[in-house]
Amino acid sequence: MKKLDYHQDLVNNVRQALTEDLRQGDLTANLIAADAQLHAKVICRESAVLCGQAWFNEVFHQLDPEISIHWLAKDSDRLAPNQTLCEVRGNARALLTGERTALNFLQTLSATATITAQYVAAMGSMGNTKTQLLDTRKTLPGLRLAQKYAVFCGGGCNHRQGLYDAILIKENHIHACGGISAAIKQAQTQQPGISIEVETESLAEVAEALTAGADIIMLDNFSREDIQAAVTLNQGQAKLEVSGNVELAQLAELAQLGVDYISTGAITKHIQAIDLSMRFNEA
């Protein structure tokens, strides 16, 4: 699990979002005097885990570097309903122009961090401390590293960042290469030293992946009984990852089966934006 370097993505995320909203300019904000100043507070209306401060800050930095932002909470903090997150002061036009874009980032990334924290809590509800929760590539287009950072803020762990930094041999790769053993051999030849993960759909495929030298074996849509059988068959040779239709209610039980990882796309795609509001007053 590599440390995320999301800064350049962050700058580009914000630039693209502002371009999407502004084009030739903010027609409504231009009704306000150019030198008018405003003070605003951002309030969280529900329980949540905060994430996205850097994206929020970058929105206003790109619009007007003179805007000041004072945070009263930090990323990964647990938030209570009606808690004030930050205070913002500066040019009224810039604040009003950036309001929605800044909140969009904050509410989306906080949503990812919040659901991740719920999944992590469920996994540990029976005292398990070994199994880690992993994210997937099922992220919002353009926000891959942002959402993976949010997973980290919620207490989860990051899987591969993309297709470029790890090998995950899935069903279609296996078919195209002529089988699990052939696919693993090809990976070992082309990318020596890179961790190799293989998706399996049966205990026979688990056995083949072990023999071929897979580093991580994904147990895709395995029953509880077959997961236990795979753990016994594995005997610690490879890391085991449970994946496929993982639901919140299942996590505590799955985490007790002796696997190393549980991965789910739900924490990045089944999200509901956190209810935030920005309240303005004259500076």
pLDDT digits (tens, 9 = 90+) for 109-128: 999 999 999 999 999 877 76
CATH code, domain carrying 64: 3.90.1170.20
Instruction: Assess whether 171 carries a catalytic annotation.
Output: no
Q: Give the per-residue pLDDT at 274.
A: 98
Residue of 211, 223, 159 lying closest to 180 (CA atoms): 211
Q: Are residues 85 and 223 in the same domain?
A: no
Q: Give the per-residue pLDDT at 7.
A: 87
Q: Are residues 189 and 209 in the same domain?
A: yes
Q: Are residues 128 and 186 in the same domain?
A: yes
Asked if the structure places residue 2 within a domain, the reply is: no
Catalytic residue among 199, 208, 241, 260: 199
Q: What is the pLDDT of residues 57-96, one digit of tens each?
A: 999 999 999 999 999 999 999 999 999 999 999 999 999 9
Over pLDDT 70: what percentage of the chain? Answer: 98
Q: Are residues 253 and 162 in the same domain?
A: yes
Give the whole-angstrom CA distance, residue 65 versus residue 52: 18
Name, in order, each residue with C-beta under 8 angstroms of 164's C-beta and a sequence gap of 6 or more.
Answer: none
Catalytic residue among 170, 185, 239, 269: 170
Instruction: Assess whether 5 carries a catalytic annotation.
Output: no
Lookup result for tokens 């209610």: 249
Across residues 201-221, what is the average pLDDT? 97
Catalytic residue among 77, 208, 220, 241: 220
Q: Give the per-residue pLDDT at 1.
A: 45
Instruction: Assess whether 160 carries a catalytic annotation.
Output: no
Asked if the structure places residue 1 within a domain, the reply is: no
What is the tally of structural domains in the chain? 2
Q: Give the per-residue pLDDT at 130.
A: 86
Q: Give the per-residue pLDDT at 263.
A: 97
CATH code, domain carrying 245: 3.20.20.70
Q: Give the per-residue pLDDT at 167.
A: 96
Q: Are residues 16 and 75 in the same domain?
A: yes
Q: Are residues 146 and 83 in the same domain?
A: no
Instruction: Assess whether 199 carries a catalytic annotation.
Output: yes
Q: Are residues 145 and 76 in the same domain?
A: no
Catalytic residue among 15, 45, 74, 100: 100
Q: Are residues 227 and 258 in the same domain?
A: yes
Q: Are residues 138 and 255 in the same domain?
A: yes
Q: Give the per-residue pLDDT at 6.
A: 81
- Amino acid letter for position 150: A
Q: What is the CA radius of gyration of the chain?
A: 23
Cα-based distances in Å from 19 to 14, 98, 256 = 8, 11, 48
Residue-by-residue DSSP string for 102-119: HHHHHHHHHHHHHHHHHH
Asked if the structure places residue 216 within a domain, the reply is: yes
Q: Give the per-residue pLDDT at 283.
A: 60
Across residues 159-186, what is the average pLDDT? 95
Name, in order, each residue with C-beta under 8 angstroms of 152's C-beta and a sequence gap of 6 or more.
Answer: 4, 158
Q: What is the pLDDT of residues 217-273, one digit of tens each?
A: 999 999 999 999 999 999 999 999 999 988 898 899 999 999 999 999 999 999 999
Q: Are residues 90 and 223 in the same domain?
A: no
177 has a pLDDT exceeding 80: yes
Instruction: Assess whether 89 carries a catalytic annotation.
Output: no
- The per-residue pLDDT of the chain, averaged, comes to 95
Q: Give the per-residue pLDDT at 125.
A: 74
Q: Are residues 129 and 109 in the same domain?
A: no
Catalytic residue among 89, 137, 138, 239: 138
Q: Give the per-residue pLDDT at 3.
A: 64
Q: Are residues 261 and 132 in the same domain?
A: yes
Cα-based distances in Å from 14 to 142, 163, 177 = 11, 24, 40
Rounded to the nearest angstrom, the gap between the alpha carbon of residue 15 and the centroid of all alpha carbons in its chain is 20
Report pTM: 0.94
Name, in order, each residue with C-beta under 8 angstroms of 24's C-beta and a sequence gap of 6 or more.
Answer: none
The domain in which residue 47 lies consists of 7-121+271-282
